[in-house]
C-alpha cells in the first residue's frame, strides 16, 4: 500500500476534518483519517489502536452512549489512553467482534484492521446517517466516506453506469447499493463488510421491525414513554466539547428538538435558519425567530438569492457526488456555512416525518387503500364516477388518486419523490433517445424497491410505506444531503429523531397512534404540544419552501437552456434535444417540471465534474 496514495485520498476530504490528520500503513493495509475534533480535543488522534497495537481504527461519527460503554469496558480490564468514543469502539470490538455493533448508539462509519487475524471490518450505522463507499477490484478493496476519495486512486477508472441514469430519473435520487459510477458501491445502512483471506462478506446486523408489541399500550402510556425517550435522546446528542447549535425550520420537529436541548444544558445555545429573496416566497424565519425567542437562543438567520443558488450548484454536485433532486440542500449548505462561525455541531429535526408518519402521501394512500377495500365490488363504477366528477369540477391532485382505484399498492408506491402516485416509466422517460430507451432494463431500475416491497408484503399500508422510505428515501436522499452539505463546511449534523431507539419505538406503536383519522404524526405532535408555541404547533406543514421553481423559470432560465441544450449534453445520446426543448418551454409556460429540470441539470453537471474532471461554472 502506497503511503502517498492514502494521504492523497485523505486530502480530498479535508473539509470533513480540518483539525487533524493521521495515517497507518502496514503491509496490505493503508488507513488515512481527517479529524473534526468534537470530543476530547487534546487527544483522540486517529488511527487509534488498542493496548498492544494489534487493532487499528478510523472512525467517522459519534457514539452517544460511549461513557456507559467505557465504564463496562473498564470493568473488563481494558486500559484507555483517551476520553474519546473512538477508543470505546476498538475495545468493544476486542470483546465482542462484529457483535459490538448491537451495543453502539449513534451515527457511524468506521474501519478496524486486525493485524493478528489479517481482517478488515467496515461498518455503517443502522439508518445510514454517515456514508460509506467502497470499490472492489481483483486485488484490492478501496473505501472512504466520500466517492471522491476513492477516485483519488488513479487506477480506478471513471465510468458511468447508464442503467443507473434511469434509476436516478425515476426516483430523482439513487436508491440501493449501486452508484452512478461503475464499480463504486455503498455499504448499506445496518450492514457490515468483512474482508478476510481474500473473501469479502456483506452482512446485515439490524433491521427495522414493525411487530407492534405495543399494540395493547394505552395512548397515555405511549405519550409518557415517548416524552421520556425524546428527553434522553436529545440530552445524549448534546454531548460535545465544542459549542452545539440547532437548525430551525420553523416547524414542529426542529422546535421540539430545541425545546429539549435548551432544558438539557446550562450553556447559551445558538440557533440558525435561512430565508429566500423574491416576492411571494414562503418565509419560515418568523416562526424560527418565535422559537428562538421562546427558548432564549442566540438566533442567526440569512437570505439566499437565485444568484447564490446558481453559483453554488456546481459545488453542490461536487459535494453530493451523485445527482440528487434536493434543492433544499443548497439552502442547508449556506445556513451551515453561517453556523460554522459560531458552532461545530448542529442538531436538526430531520427524521420525524419518516418515524411518525408526517407526510401527506402517507395519509392519502392509507385512506385510498381503505376505500378500495371497503368498496371493492364497486371500484370500477366508482372510478368512472370520480373521473367524471373531477372532469366537471377539477380538484388538484384528485386525478392522481382516481387512476389508482383499480391498481395494487406495490404497482404505484415506487417513488415518493418523482411520482408518489404511480410509476409509468418516469416523467423523463419520454425525453430518452430511441437507443437509450431500448437499452434500459426497467426491472433493474426498480430492483431496490421491489425487494423491499416483497419484504413488507402482507403488512398494513402505513408500515409498508414507512419501512420502504426508511430504507431508501431517508439514507439515499435526505441523510446524504444532510451529511454532505454540513460536512462541506466542517460542521457535524446530528439527528436525534433518527436515534434507532426512537425509530424502534415508533415502529412498535399501533398505526393509529401515528396516523389518527386525517391527522399526521399524531403522537409526536401531542407530546410536543405542551412544549412548543401553539403558533408553530398548529401551523400547516410547508416543508422547506426553496423557491427554485420560480428561479428556474425566470432568474436562471438562460443558464438552464444553455446547459441542457448544449452540444455536449445532446451528444451524450441519452435525450432527444427536441424533447428537452419542449420540456423547457412547457415549464416556462407554467407547467411545473422544476424537479425534472433540476435533475437534468444535476446529471449534466455531475458528468462534467466526475467523468470529464471539468470545473463547471454557471
Burial of residue 442 (number of CB atoms within 10 Å: 0-12, 13-18, 19+): middle
Mean pLDDT for the chain overall: 90
**Ordered strands of the 199-204 beta sheet:** 48-49, 55-63, 106-114, 119-124, 191-196, 199-204
Arithmetic mean of pLDDT, 25-53: 95
Inter-residue contact 180 to 605 (CB < 8 Å): no
CA R_g for the chain: 24
User: Which segments within 542-609 are labelled E, that is strand?
Assistant: none
The pLDDT value recorded for residue 395 is 47
The pLDDT value recorded for residue 86 is 97
- Within the chain, all domains assigned CATH 3.60.20.10 are found at 3-204
Residues 6+ apart with CB under 8 A from 332: 247, 481, 482, 485, 486
Inter-residue contact 93 to 74 (CB < 8 Å): no
pLDDT at position 149 over 60: yes
Cell of 37: 475534533
- 404 pLDDT band (50/70/90 cuts)? low
Inter-residue contact 318 to 15 (CB < 8 Å): no
pLDDT at position 438 over 70: yes
- Between 545 and 526, where is the model more confident? 526
pLDDT at position 408 over 80: no
Arithmetic mean of pLDDT, 19-48: 95
Q: What is the pLDDT of residues 593-604, one digit of tens each?
A: 999 999 999 999
pLDDT at position 162 over 90: no
- 405 pLDDT band (50/70/90 cuts)? low
Nearest to 69 by CA among 100, 38, 107, 109: 100
The pLDDT value recorded for residue 375 is 65
pLDDT at position 378 over 60: no
| Window from 76-85, 123-132, 282-291, 389-398 with minimum mean pLDDT | 389-398
pLDDT at position 21 over 70: yes
Inter-residue contact 350 to 503 (CB < 8 Å): no
The pLDDT value recorded for residue 280 is 63
The pLDDT value recorded for residue 413 is 72
pLDDT at position 381 over 80: no
Inter-residue contact 107 to 61 (CB < 8 Å): yes
Q: What is the pLDDT of residues 349-358, one digit of tens each?
A: 999 999 999 9
Most trustworthy range by pLDDT among 325-329, 413-417, 541-545: 325-329
Neighbours of 425 (CB within 10 A): 16
Residues 6+ apart with CB under 8 A from 495: 107, 129, 347, 348, 350, 351, 479, 482
Q: Exposure pattern of 33-49 as b/e (b: 16+ CB <10 Å)? A: bbbbbbbeeeebbbbbb
DSSP states along 481-546: HHHHHHHTTT-EEE-GGG-HHHHHHHHHS-HHHHSBTTBTTHHHHHHHTTTS-HHHHTSPP-----
The pLDDT value recorded for residue 455 is 92
pLDDT at position 482 over 60: yes
Arithmetic mean of pLDDT, 173-201: 96
pLDDT at position 401 over 80: no
Arithmetic mean of pLDDT, 316-326: 95
Arithmetic mean of pLDDT, 274-296: 87
Cell of 606: 455531475
E strand or H helix at 32, and its extent? Answer: strand 29-35
pLDDT at position 365 over 90: no
Nearest to 239 by CA among 354, 127, 45, 83: 83
Arithmetic mean of pLDDT, 57-74: 98
- Between 378 and 127, where is the model more confident? 127
The pLDDT value recorded for residue 409 is 73
Residues 6+ apart with CB under 8 A from 307: 555
Rounded distance between C-alpha atoms, residue 30 and residue 115, angstroms:
12
- Torsion angle defined by CA atoms of residues 396, 399, 405 and 408, in that order, rounded to the nearest 10 degrees: -90
Rounded distance between C-alpha atoms, residue 472 and residue 212, angstroms:
22
ω into residue 8 within 30 of 0, thus cis?
no
The pLDDT value recorded for residue 393 is 47
pTM flag (> 0.85): yes
Q: What is the pLDDT of residues 553-573, one digit of tens each?
A: 999 999 999 999 999 999 999
Most trustworthy range by pLDDT among 218-232, 404-418, 420-434, 436-450: 218-232
Arithmetic mean of pLDDT, 74-97: 97
The pLDDT value recorded for residue 415 is 53
Cell of 188: 448499506
Nearest to 476 by CA among 590, 605, 324: 324
Query: Residue 190, SS3?
Result: coil
Query: Residue 223, SS3?
Result: helix
Percent of the chain residues topping a pLDDT of 70: 90
Give the chain's length. 618
| Window from 126-140, 211-225, 319-333, 493-507 with minimum mean pLDDT | 211-225
E strand or H helix at 463, and its extent? Answer: helix 461-471
Helices (H) and strands (E) in the chain, counts: 29, 16
pLDDT at position 421 over 50: no
Q: What is the pLDDT of residues 94-110, one digit of tens each?
A: 999 999 999 999 999 99
Query: Residue 371, SS3?
Result: helix
The pLDDT value recorded for residue 580 is 95
The pLDDT value recorded for residue 387 is 53
Q: Exposure pattern of 384-399 as b/e (b: 16+ CB <10 Å)? A: eebeeebeeeeeeeee
Rounded distance between C-alpha atoms, residue 575 and residue 601, angstroms:
13
Write down the CATH superfamily of domain 3-204: Aminohydrolase, N-terminal nucleophile (Ntn) domain (3.60.20.10)
pLDDT at position 114 over 60: yes
Amino acid at each position: 500500500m502506497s503511503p502517498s496514495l492514502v494521504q492523497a485520498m485523505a486530502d480530498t476530504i479535508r473539509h470533513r476534518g480540518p483539525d487533524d490528520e493521521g495515517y497507518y500503513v502496514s503491509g496490505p493495509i493503508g488507513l488515512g483519517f481527517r479529524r473534526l475534533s468534537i470530543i476530547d480535543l487534546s487527544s483522540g488522534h486517529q488511527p487509534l489502536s488498542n493496548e498492544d497495537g494489534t487493532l487499528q481504527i478510523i472512525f467517522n461519527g459519534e457514539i452517544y452512549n460511549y461513557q456507559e460503554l467505557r465504564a463496562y469496558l473498564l470493568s473488563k480490564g481494558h486500559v484507555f489512553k483517551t476520553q474519546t468514543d473512538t477508543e470505546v469502539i476498538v475495545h468493544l470490538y476486542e470483546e465482542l467482534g462484529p457483535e459490538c455493533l448491537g451495543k453502539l448508539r449513534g451515527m457511524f462509519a468506521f474501519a478496524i484492521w486486525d493485524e493478528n487475524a489479517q481482517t478488515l471490518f467496515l461498518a455503517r450505522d443502522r439508518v445510514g446517517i454517515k456514508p460509506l463507499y467502497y470499490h472492489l477490484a481483483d486485488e484490492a478493496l478501496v473505501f472512504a466516506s466520500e466517492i471522491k476519495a476513492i477516485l483519488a486512486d488513479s487506477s480506478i477508472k471513471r465510468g458511468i453506469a447508464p442503467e443507473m441514469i434511469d434509476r436516478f430519473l425515476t426516483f430523482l435520487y439513487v436508491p440501493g447499493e449501486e452508484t452512478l459510477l461503475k464499480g463504486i458501491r455503498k455499504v448499506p445502512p445496518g450492514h457490515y463488510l468483512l474482508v478476510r483471506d481474500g473473501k469479502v462478506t456483506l452482512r446485515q446486523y439490524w433491521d427495522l421491525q414493525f411487530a407492534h408489541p405495543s399494540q395493547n399500550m394505552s395512548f397515555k402510556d405511549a405519550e409518557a414513554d415517548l416524552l421520556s425517550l425524546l428527553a434522553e435522546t436529545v440530552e445524549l446528542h448534546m454531548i460535545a466539547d465544542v459549542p452545539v447549535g440547532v437548525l430551525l425550520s420553523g416547524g414542529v420537529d426542529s422546535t421540539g428538538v430545541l425545546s429539549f436541548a435548551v432544558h438539557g444544558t446550562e450553556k447559551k445555545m445558538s440557533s440558525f435558519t435561512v430565508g429566500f429573496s423574491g416576492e411571494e416566497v414562503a418565509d419560515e424565519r418568523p416562526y424560527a425567530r418565535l422559537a428562538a425567542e421562546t427558548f432564549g437562543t442566540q438566533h442567526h438567520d440569512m437570505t439566499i438569492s437565485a444568484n447564490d443558488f446558481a453559483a453554488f450548484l456546481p459545488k453542490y454536485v461536487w459535494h453530493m457526488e451523485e445527482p440528487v433532486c434536493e434543492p433544499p440542500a443548497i439552502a442547508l449548505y449556506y445556513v451551515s456555512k453561517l453556523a460554522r462561525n459560531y458552532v461545530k455541531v448542529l442538531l436538526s429535526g430531520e427524521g420525524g416525518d419518516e418515524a411518525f408518519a408526517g407526510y401527506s402521501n402517507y395519509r392519502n394512500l392509507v385512506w385510498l387503500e381503505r376505500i378500495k377495500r371497503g368498496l371493492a365490488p364497486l371500484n370500477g363504477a366508482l372510478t368512472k364516477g370520480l373521473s367524471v366528477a373531477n372532469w366537471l369540477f377539477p380538484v388538484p391532485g384528485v386525478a392522481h388518486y382516481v387512476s389508482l382505484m383499480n391498481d395494487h399498492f406495490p404497482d404505484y408506491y415506487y417513488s415518493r419523490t418523482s411520482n408518489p402516485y404511480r410509476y409509468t416509466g418516469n416523467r423523463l422517460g419520454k425525453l430518452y433517445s430511441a437507443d437509450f430507451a431500448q437499452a434500459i432494463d426497467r426491472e433493474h431500475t426498480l430492483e431496490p424497491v421491489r425487494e423491499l416491497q416483497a419484504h413488507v408484503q402482507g403488512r398494513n399500508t402505513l408500515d409498508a410505506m414507512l419501512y420502504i422510505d426508511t430504507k431508501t428515501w431517508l439514507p439515499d436522499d435526505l441523510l446524504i444531503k444532510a451529511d454532505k452539505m454540513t460536512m462541506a463546511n466542517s460542521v457535524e449534523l446530528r439527528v436525534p429523531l433518527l436515534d434507532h431507539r426512537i425509530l424502534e419505538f415508533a415502529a412498535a406503536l399501533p398505526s393509529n397512534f401515528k396516523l389518527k383519522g386525517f391527522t399526521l404524526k399524531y403522537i409526536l405532535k401531542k407530546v410536543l404540544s405542551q412544549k412548543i408555541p401553539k403558533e408553530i404547533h398548529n401551523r400547516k406543514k410547508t416543508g422547506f419552501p426553496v423557491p427554485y421553481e420560480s428561479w428556474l423559470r425566470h432568474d436562471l432560465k438562460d443558464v438552464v437552456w444553455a446547459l441542457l441544450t448544449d452540444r455536449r449534453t445532446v451528444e451524450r445520446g441519452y435525450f432527444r434535444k427536441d424533447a428537452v426543448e419542449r420540456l423547457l418551454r412547457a415549464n416556462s409556460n407554467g407547467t411545473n417540471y422544476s424537479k425534472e429540470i433540476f435533475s437534468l441539470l444535476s446529471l449534466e453537471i455531475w458528468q462534467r465534474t466526475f467523468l470529464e474532471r471539468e470545473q463547471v461554472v454557471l
